[in-house]
Structure 1
Amino acid sequence: MMRTFHKPSGGSALGTVLLLIPAVLLLLPACAAVGPDYVRPEAASPAAWNTRLDEGLSPKTPDVPTLSQWWMTLEDPILCGLIDQGIARNLDIKTARARIREARAQLTAAGASLWPGVDTAGSATWSQGSENRGGGGTTELYSLGFDASWELDLFGGNRRTAEAASAELEAEEENLRDVLVTLLAEIALNYLDLRTVQARLRVTEENLTAQQETADLAQLRRQAGLTDELAVEQSRYNLESTRSQIPSLRTAIESAKNRLAVLTGSAPGELHRRLDAVEPVPAPPAEIAVGVPAETLRQRPDIRRAERSLAAQTARIGAATADLYPRLRLFGSIGLESLSAGNLFDARSLARSIGPSLSWPLFDAGAIRSNIEVQSALQEQALCQYEATVLGALEEVENALQAYQDELERKRTLARAVEAARKAVELSRIKYEAGLTDFVSVLEAERSHLGFEDQMAQSAGNVAADLVRIYKALGGGWDALASKEARGGNPS
């Protein structure tokens, strides 16, 4: 029996390739991508905090609303307003959001490489040959058509690139949350610094008034011949020493206001009217739930960002490894070509071509393998950075917990010292007026009283600031942006 083999026509060849495309689409996901598959590292954490939890600190799991809006625990409406303004207008937040849009666009571009590309082109040319070459006639050529090409991602290089872009997008989203955590803490810390310095200024001015009365008393006793010029001059330098502290405190107040303005996206000076009124330093709540280390490691966006960066770098190893293998591309074109514009859309003007192309690097002097080594070394660095971020987070929490408890104890001690110094000032003045002691005792008592009151004001601010650092270390506030949007705010 004789078999007859027919050479396929161009149309049947095109149809065969078109029928193969869906089959290739189904088979591609089954082709394993080269390079290591990412495995999320397990962050080792202790079962409990090393710092002993006293002074209102509790190992209870923080409830989500409290941790999300921890500044509400300070019950200061001005601070809450500054926080909302910072979320909406801070430039670092806007920059981080723009980086997310950039990463999202890069992911779209990386994903586009997995699909065919189609171009269209049209041309009309007129040419005249040289008569000295035996020609001299004119030629017209008109064309209109479509070109398509598609790289079959047999070894997963493009898929790994898209995987890396996806992880980078997630890393940028975590970066936005980390910027938010830092921003909210910075706004609160600068606000507390403002209130602390205002309290110190009030203490200094009150002591200045008291010392002025002492100086006046010394002057009267000098005029009455009950004391000498030395006591008068001592009272004067004590008075002026206290007065000299006021300009630096005012400078610190202005700096804190200007810093708050910048953090909330305003020009320096715009917040002065809102912040001029002296308000007390906010007091911390009676109990603070800090949870356990494992919960903190899950909450902190900087750890999640480092983990996503590690995932992206792992995928880049696969993308670099795919360069070792062949690249298979399908290409094709279909269009119209004619020597006459009037015949361009005639059926006989149809032209088409289709076929595969294969490329495989045979010699590159080790460039591809060197790039794989580079990406592997970068992955190792990303892993070290992730582990360092975890350790740094644990350290930050431990330090914040210890500082908070120690400052509370220091504040109680200073309160007792302030009360004792106040009584010492009263007794020394009574004895001085009765002539039972010299003026040095009065000066020493007043200086001690001022010093203890100043330290007390600082300590009250430090307690509230240490509370802020605890919430920041726990990763509190990273979802504040979503919470504001849910409440109808406009963060952009």
Structure 2
Amino acid sequence: GFHLDKQQLAQSALFLQLPLPPSGEQPEGLLNRRPDLMAAAANVQAKAAALASAKADFLPRFDLRFLWQTGRIELLTDLDGWGSIASFGVQLPIFTAGKIRANVNAKDAALKTALLEYNHAILQALAEVDNRYQLQYALTRQVNEMADTVSNNQQREASIQKLFKYGDKTLDDVIRVQLETLEYQQELLAARQASGLNLIALYKAIGSGWSE
């Protein structure tokens, strides 16, 4: 039978006045607003920097150091007048080229993985926004249709009550139309609640918040 959910009525009261769905949104706007996309972009940048650093290990390194600070193979050239104190060193990646190459390959693979994850996150975000927009359109249409149904049934209820007053309708007729009105009202509140919750999810999907 009919049951009026008072808790649902209280919750749905929060969704009686809702802001309009966001309009004019562009796909590129998601990149600078959604935290998950910004995190994925930062990960790509970090992997790219790591790859660049790994490739830099192939380049010779020049350094100026004191003679007693040794510990790695260097081509040394004594500086005029400073031969007993300092030396100019050139470090060549001769014996570590294989290790460096393996590190570069690993960093390159990590970058490619990060790029794939970033692209997947973008496509997933766009699909989520599109689905939320379509659902919001359908829910808004449902709310409007249910509001019309409630209004029409309220007019019918008023007419039956007048007829009952003059003896042309029974009390059973009045009660039946009143129950119908309450059922339609509950369906309307449920539709408004669903619309409000989806609208919140839509704003979240585009990485935005409620306007003041």
TM-score w.r.t. structure 1 length?
A: 0.33
Provide the residue aligned with 2:8 in structure 1: none
Aligned pair in 2 of structure 1 residues 169, 117: CA closer, same or farther (>3 Å)?
Answer: same
2:181, 2:27 → 1: CA distance?
Answer: 40
Provide the residue aligned with 1:197 in structure 2: 139
Contact 2:58/2:97 (8 A) holds in 1: no
RMSD of aligned Cα (Å)? 2.7
- Give the letter aligned to residue 243 of structure 1: Q
| Aligned equivalent of 2:165, options 202, 223, 231 | 223
Q: How much does 1:87 deviate?
A: 4.0
- Give the letter aligned to residue 159 of structure 1: R
| Aligned equivalent of 1:111, options 55, 75, 81 | 55
Q: What SS does the corresponding residue of 1:89 show, helix, strand or coil?
A: coil
1:95, 1:259 → 2: CA distance?
Answer: 20
| Aligned equivalent of 1:144, options 86, 101, 107 | 86
Contact 2:31/2:38 (8 A) holds in 1: no
2:136, 2:95 → 1: CA distance?
Answer: 59
Q: What SS does the corresponding residue of 2:167 show, helix, strand or coil?
A: coil
Provide the residue aligned with 1:295 in structure 2: none
Q: How much does 1:89 deviate?
A: 2.8
Contact 1:82/1:187 (8 A) holds in 2: no
Describe how 1:344-359 pairs up with structure 2 within 5 A: none
- Give the letter aligned to residue 53 of structure 2: A
1:252, 1:120 → 2: CA distance?
Answer: 70
Aligned pair in 2 of structure 1 residues 154, 143: CA closer, same or farther (>3 Å)?
Answer: closer
Q: How much does 1:80 deviate?
A: 5.5
- The reply to whether residue 260 of structure 1 matches residue 209 of structure 2 is no
- Give the letter aligned to residue 208 of structure 1: V
- Give the letter aligned to residue 33 of structure 2: R
| Number of corresponding residues | 175
Structure 1 unmatched ranges of 5 or more = 1-77, 124-141, 273-492
1:80, 1:160 → 2: CA distance?
Answer: 47
Q: How much does 1:199 deviate?
A: 0.7
Greater RCO between the two (CA within 8 Å, min separation 6)? 2
Describe how 1:28-427 pairs up with structure 2 within 5 A: 81-121=25-65, 143-153=85-95, 156-267=98-209, 269-270=210-211
Contact 1:79/1:191 (8 A) holds in 2: no
Aligned pair in 2 of structure 1 residues 153, 195: CA closer, same or farther (>3 Å)?
Answer: farther
Q: How much does 1:232 deviate?
A: 0.8
- Give the letter aligned to residue 190 of structure 2: S
Cα deviation 1:242-276 (Å, max 9, x = unaligned): 11233333333333333232332322x12x9xxxx
Q: What SS does the corresponding residue of 2:125 show, helix, strand or coil?
A: helix
Q: What SS does the corresponding residue of 1:152 show, helix, strand or coil?
A: coil
Identity among equivalent pairs (%): 17
1:172, 1:106 → 2: CA distance?
Answer: 12
Contact 2:44/2:115 (8 A) holds in 1: yes
Contact 1:222/1:228 (8 A) holds in 2: yes
Q: How much does 1:91 deviate?
A: 2.5
TM-score w.r.t. structure 2 length?
A: 0.70
Cα deviation 1:389-436 (Å, max 9, x = unaligned): xxxxxxxxxxxxxxxxxxxxxxxxxxxxxxxxxxxxxxxxxxxxxxxx
Q: How much does 1:151 deviate?
A: 4.0
2:63, 2:95 → 1: CA distance?
Answer: 20
Contact 2:62/2:89 (8 A) holds in 1: yes
1:198, 1:120 → 2: CA distance?
Answer: 72
1:181, 1:161 → 2: CA distance?
Answer: 31
Contact 1:97/1:176 (8 A) holds in 2: yes
Between Structure 1 and Structure 2, whose CA radius of gyration is higher?
A: 1
| Greater shift in the superposed pair: 188-197 or 210-219 | 210-219
Q: What SS does the corresponding residue of 1:95 show, helix, strand or coil?
A: helix
| Greater shift in the superposed pair: 189-198 or 109-118 | 109-118
1:204, 1:143 → 2: CA distance?
Answer: 91
Q: How much does 1:187 deviate?
A: 0.9
2:178, 2:87 → 1: CA distance?
Answer: 97
Q: What SS does the corresponding residue of 1:156 show, helix, strand or coil?
A: helix
Contact 1:82/1:264 (8 A) holds in 2: no
| Greater shift in the superposed pair: 255-264 or 194-203 | 255-264
